[in-house]
Amino acid sequence: MEQSIGRAARDLVGSKYAIALTGAGISTESGIPDFRGPSGIWTKNPEAERRAYRGYQEFLEDPKGWWVAILTNPSASLLGDLGKAMPNPGHYALVELEKMGILKCVITQNVDALHEKAGAKNLLEYHGSVAKLRCVSCGLRFRRNEFDLEKLKRENKLPPRCPKCRGIIKTDGVFFGEPIPSDVAYQSFEEAQKCDLMLICGTSAVVYPFAELPRIAKQRSTVTIIEVNADPTPLTEEGVSDYLIQGKTGEILPRIVDEVKRVRKTD
């Protein structure tokens, strides 16, 4: 472990364009369950997974009913109340690497907005964010508080409408079966093609198309791919990653940052 942390720090210091990919695992230490880890939502409740796949269809068929339902019972959301969750040392470590000029971009699958709360600047939220809303027609995003959703509900004016194109507005989080918004899909693809180091943190890398990003980077033999994860993943098993540092992101990422500082001092 000590050795691979040192190796990761040296690889990061030597990189020209490092990016990070993150998944639900980086947020479990903030009290948000993942889907497929040992205490994951799907692992414990397979029926919830089957239900989740129907969500997008339900929204398209009845956007007003969908909005009324989530405003009436917000805690019924799959991940609970994410508004109160706070970033953990793993999120802050990535921000430190960005401030040092080493990490150029974070691409996250998480919808919990914890990278943003921690201060990440160049951030692509591949599956959207609970802090935002998005127009399904023109793709424009809004902060959640730009709309008085309770008032719209009281006045029977749901679903919210886009001020620009009058399209229907939904939460920004991407539903199962919903296409990835084209802007983040395109920018993430570009980053995966541009990077020379990819640091993959807390993702089982089985949700597509996100899981293509490491494979896109791997097509160039010069790219170093490092995983920090509690367990080996398909990326480990298929040899997509060069090495795995096995353990908790909240413990390992800060240790990598300390080591990066040490390497930089002695260089």
- 37, interface contact from Zn ion, ligand NAD, none, CB < 5-8 Å by kind: ligand NAD
- Helix or strand or coil: residue 2? helix
Q: Shortest CA distance to 34 belongs to which of 80, 94, 92?
A: 80
In the range 39-58, which residues lie near ligand NAD by CB under 6 A?
Answer: 40
Number of residues that bind ligand NAD (CB under 6 A): 29
Q: How far is the CB of 170 from Zn ion (least distance, A)?
A: 11
Neighbouring C-beta atoms of residue 219, cutoff 10 Å: 9
Q: Of the two residues 29 and 196, which places its CB atom closer to ligand NAD in the complex?
A: 29
Cβ closest to ligand NAD, residue 120 vs residue 162? 120
Are 87 and 117 a contacting pair, CB within 8 Å? yes
Residue of 20, 32, 23, 129 lying closest to 86 (CA atoms): 32
- Between CA 239 and CA 205 the distance in angstroms is 13
Q: Which is nearer to ligand NAD, 101 or 239 (CB)?
A: 239
For residue 223, give the nearest of 4, 17, 2, 7 by alpha carbon.
17
How many helices, marked H, and strands, marked E, lie in the chain? Answer: 12, 9
Tell me, residue by residue from 23 to 42, as one string, x for binding to ligand NAD by CB under 6 A and - for no binding: xxx-xxx--x-xxxx--x--
Q: Among 15, 188, 204, 241, which residue sits at the site for ligand NAD (rule: CB under 6 A)?
A: 204
211 phi and psi angles, rounded to 5 deg: -65, -10
The entry of Zn ion, ligand NAD, none near residue 111 (CB within 5 to 8 angstroms by kind) is: ligand NAD
- Per the annotation, the verdict on 91 as an active-site residue is no
Within 10 A of 196 (CB to CB), how many other CB atoms are there?
16
Given the rule CB under 6 A, which of 1-9, 163-171, 178-186, 201-209 is the region that contacts ligand NAD? Answer: 201-209
207 binds ligand NAD (CB under 6 A): yes
* 116 within 8 A of 98, measured Cβ to Cβ: no
Which residue is catalytic, options 36, 91, 104, 127?
Answer: 127
223-252 footprint of ligand NAD as x/- string (CB under 6 A): ------xxx-x--------------xxx--
Sheet architecture: strand order including 103-108: 123-125, 103-108, 18-22, 197-201, 224-229, 243-246
Span 107-136, contacts to Zn ion by CB under 5 A: 135
Q: Which residues bind Zn ion (CB under 5 A)?
A: 135, 137-138, 140, 162, 164-165, 167
By CB under 6 A, name the binding residues for ligand NAD: 23-25, 27-29, 32, 34-37, 40, 79, 109-112, 127, 202-204, 207, 229-231, 233, 248-250
Which sequence positions are flagged as catalytic? 127
